[in-house]
Copies of this chain bind each other. A is one copy, B any other.
Amino acid sequence: MISFDSDYLEGCLPEILNRITETNLEQTPGYGEDRYCLEAAEKIRTAIKMPTAAIHFLVGGTQTNSTVISAILKPWQGVICATSGHINVHETGAIEHGGHKVIALPCTQGKISASQIEECILSHREDPSHEHCVQPGMVYLSFPTEIGTIYTLSELKAISDVCRRLRVPLFIDGARLGYGLCSEGCDINLPTLASLVDIFYIGGTKQGALFGEAVVFTDPAFCPEFRYNIKQNGGMLAKGRLLGLQFSTLFGDNLYYKASEHAVELALNIRDAFSKKGFSFLSESGSNLQFPILSDSQAEDLRRDFSFENWERTDSGHIAVRFCTSWATREKDVQSLISAIEAL
């Protein structure tokens, strides 16, 4: 059985494991204040072309989202998000647990638009009884989205413009940032993305690390006491060096991009195989996530040898499923899958 269930099925890139093994018996201070964290932060600053950005390392995605959002919002503020956004549906209410409403806007292809965001913020401000409503205090986007789509440069610029004009911080969940940046059709690079947002994170867990997410505050003065918040939210890893070692490895020798490109290339091969057979898709994804719509019997057929996620029923006899590749996906496994698709 070959699994295409997720991008966190395997351990990590071998280069990372080597680095952890080599340094295993070194003594380092804890809690992210070791030399490897400093080194990794410096490499990230270089990669995003922001020499003064503040970089913090956390362990997982839900933790990162809830820690960042609760650090930024005032108690009576909420975070604007697509209805399909991860924080709205798949984090067991971690944002609300931290005291904040997720203000969910309807989305198209997993995305919300600058004009939706502007309307949401302005209609609140213009409402004479606005004190009775949650104040929009932040915008959350996923890049790529949960269904593999990406914001174009012009879309993201427009959102960034609205956020700056209305003085509402913009935060990007980059759990799969590498796969997004390497997507087919992506016209944004990392420094450009960084220049348009206030906070974002660079996912490690789904991108070839054992675990870890690197939070970037583009303005270091934006949240100078964020380390308190990390600790309070249980996200400060005692052996912080593990995070430093992993991100230092990912951002050395272009590994982050190479691994992402590998995953995307294989995902597009899967997409093309479905396409050629005339299947349609839930979303126009150029990333490592592909959502073909199968008949129930076709899905059953494929499940004999492959495992993948049911995503959403599209009608009574059809279902959109998710195939997910990663840095670890093997070409021969994709070949087997393609043969099976061709045989449907």
Contact = CB atoms under 8 A, between A and B. Distances in A.
A131 interface: yes
A179 B196 CA distance: 50
Contacts of A96: 78, 95-96, 99-101, 134
Contact of A8 (B61, B62, B239): B239
A27 B333 CA distance: 13
A127 B206 CA distance: 22
Nearest to A102: B101
Nearest to A103: B93
Given A67-B234, A239-B205, A228 B28 contact: no
Contact of A60 (B8, B95, B225, B238): B238
Report the copy number of this chain in the oligomer: 4
A304 interface: no
Contact of A92 (B59, B91, B133): B133
A8 B238 contact: yes
B6 A92 contact: no
Contact of A25 (B10, B67, B241): B10
A50 interface: no
Contacts of A138: none
Given A59-B59, A71-B75, A100-B96, A131 B231 contact: yes
A236 interface: yes
A30 interface: yes
A12 interface: yes
Given A8-B30, A135-B225, A97 B233 contact: yes
Interface in A200-226: 205-206, 210-211, 225
B67 A93 contact: no
A86 to B, nearest CB: 10
A27 B8 CA distance: 9
Contacts of A24: 10-12, 14, 17
Interface in A243-280: none
Given A12-B24, A133-B90, A238 B205 contact: yes
By Cβ-Cβ distance, the 7 closest A-B pairs, closest first, are A63-B234, A11-B24, A76-B228, A93-B134, A92-B232, A9-B27, A93-B101
6 contacts: A10-B26, A11-B24, A17-B24, A25-B328, A76-B92, A94-B234
